[in-house]
Amino acid sequence: MLNPIELDRQYNARAAVPEHPAFIARWRADSERTRKALAADIDLPYGKSKSERMDFFRAGNAGAPLLIFIHGGYWRSLDKSDFSFLAPAYVARNANVAVVNYGLAPGTSLEEMVRQLLRAVSWLYKNASAMNFDAQKIVIAGHSAGAHLAAMMAAADWSRWDPALADNVVRGIVCISGLYDLEPLAQAPFFKDDIQLDSAGARKLSPVSYQPRFDVPMVTSVGADESSEFHRQNTLIRSSWPACFRRDVPMPGRNHFSVVDALCDKNHPLFQSTLSLLSVE
Mean pLDDT of 5-27: 97
CATH code of the domain in which 203 resides = 3.40.50.1820
- Parent domain of 147: 4-277
Provide the whole-model pTM. Answer: 0.98
The string of pLDDT tens digits covering residues 50-64 is 999 999 999 989 999
Concatenating the DSSP letter of every residue in 117-167 gives HHHHHHHHHHTHHHHTEEEEEEEEEEETHHHHHHHHHHT--HHHH-TTS-S
CB 44 within 8 A of CB 55: yes
Mean pLDDT of 13-30: 97
Report the domain count for the chain: 1
Say if residue 265's pLDDT is above 80: yes
* Segments of the chain assigned E as strands: 40-45, 53-57, 64-70, 96-100, 133-143, 172-176, 218-221, 245-249
The string of pLDDT tens digits covering residues 65-105 is 999 999 999 999 999 999 999 999 999 999 999 999 999 99
Give the amino acid at 46.
Y
Q: What sign for the dihedral angle of Cα 66, 22, 28, 89?
A: negative
Say if residue 281's pLDDT is above 60: no
Give the amino acid at 172.
G
10 Å CB burial of residue 157 (0-12, 13-18, 19+) is exposed
